[in-house]
Amino acid sequence: MRTIDGEVVLPGPRLREIAQRILEAAGASRKGALLAADAMVAANLRGVDSHGVQLLPAYVKQIETGNIDARAEGRPVSESGATMVYDGENALGHVVSDICCAHAARLARSHGLGMVVARNSNHFGAAAYWAQKLTSEGMIGIVMCNASPRVPPWQGKEGRLGTNPLCVALPVEPPDAWLLDMATTTVAANKIYNLAAKGVHSIPPGWAMDIEGVPTTDAQAAIQGLLMPLGGYKGSGLAMMVEILCAVLSGGAMSTEVGGLYITGRRSGASQMFLAIEAGRFLPPEEFAARVRRLVAHAKSAAPAKGYDEVLVAGDPEWRTEQRRLREGIPLAPEIYENITALATRLGVAVGD
């Protein structure tokens, strides 16, 4: 461990070990702890710190209060052709997602594509982690999830939808790859929580609204209020699409029925969708990869706009951050590191140097 510019920097493997041991001490199974720790650190490595180890205290609280059954794994409800419905039975979202990804890949190998929808699940971290789980099987991976209703429908001022992220990843290696991972709001809620934890009081315009539905740049007002749909009515439509493909199809909790990671005394009931597509059913895998590389290169060949040095595509910033953090370690804000060490101390887990 070292400190740079006021931030604590830890190697990824060490941070993963700490997170895993804390989760096990809180009551998670070894499998669940490994998956959750790996997903969080993977997010930190990619620079998506809003879904990194800052979530650890929230996961522990959900386990300790009984909101999450950290020993459960869920079960298939039905399987028909290339489709499956899975009941997470309130297990860790990471455990449910790992199982569902395996089923989706299995179905895709048999049918060309496989789609699994899960209900009664929990927060699963960054969607990119699971989409990349599918690409590691040679599939195009598409992953979606509904979330707690912090987002009003277009022209509303009451929460009815979640940040409802969606992710598409391709089985093509960087730097020529493309990976879209986005919330259907301007930003994910955890990004605002992360800034507030660092003592930031002001957020950019267009991120959030206060409790009256009025746009705000005050971080605390945003935390108490609502998140802004991405692109107005378009983001609201995308969020509804995710709700349909996850919650409606799975028979799971919808809209205000969904709990959340920071809500106590109530289960999350999140629903998720995992779609694996075997590109090789359409054209040879090497041709698919070559065509993706050609498209990416063509996009990047555009002249940069004023104020920019280059053209980037989805996934570029995260891959670059990952390479740097693999070499240099993961920086944590002092407040986040203190929260983790306090949690470790309470649970009897040694953090060490």
Alpha carbon distance 241, 224 (integer Å): 26
Residue 286 has pLDDT above 90, yes or no: yes
Closest among 348, 340, 346, 342 to 16, alpha carbons compared: 340
Alpha carbon distance 178, 292 (integer Å): 8
Q: Give how far Cα 192 sits from Cα of 30, 77, 80, 128, 186, Å.
A: 31, 37, 41, 19, 11
pLDDT confidence of 264, banded at 50, 70, 90?
confident
Closest among 118, 137, 141 to 72, alpha carbons compared: 118
Provide the token pair at 349: 């887990």
Query: Three-class SS of residue 159?
Result: coil
Number of CB atoms found within 10 A of residue 310's CB: 8
Alpha carbon distance 253, 138 (integer Å): 31
pLDDT confidence of 3, banded at 50, 70, 90?
confident
Query: pLDDT tens digit string along 191-215?
Result: 888 788 778 889 999 999 998 889 9
Domains and CATH numbers, the chain: 2-64+317-347 (1.10.1530.10), 75-185+229-281 (3.30.1370.60)
Task: Give the residues across from 241 on adjacent strands.
Answer: none
Provide the token pair at 69: 């059954």
Residue range 338-346: average pLDDT?
95
The sign of the dihedral angle between the CA atoms of 91, 187, 181, 6 is negative
Residue range 303-330: average pLDDT?
97
Q: For residue 126, how far is the Cα from the chain centroid?
A: 2
Least confident of 88-92, 103-107, 148-152: 148-152
Which residues have a Cβ under 8 Å from the Cβ of 66 and sit 6 or more positions away? none
Alpha carbon distance 263, 25 (integer Å): 22
pLDDT confidence of 353, banded at 50, 70, 90?
low
Alpha carbon distance 143, 39 (integer Å): 15
How much of the chain exceeds pLDDT 70, in percent?
99
Alpha carbon distance 136, 200 (integer Å): 37
Amino acid sitting at position 252: G
Alpha carbon distance 275, 145 (integer Å): 12
Do the beta carbons of residue 54 and residue 336 sit within 8 Å? yes
Closest among 235, 224, 219 to 156, alpha carbons compared: 235
Q: What is the pLDDT of residue 1?
A: 65
Residue range 59-79: average pLDDT?
96
Q: What is the pLDDT of residue 187?
A: 86
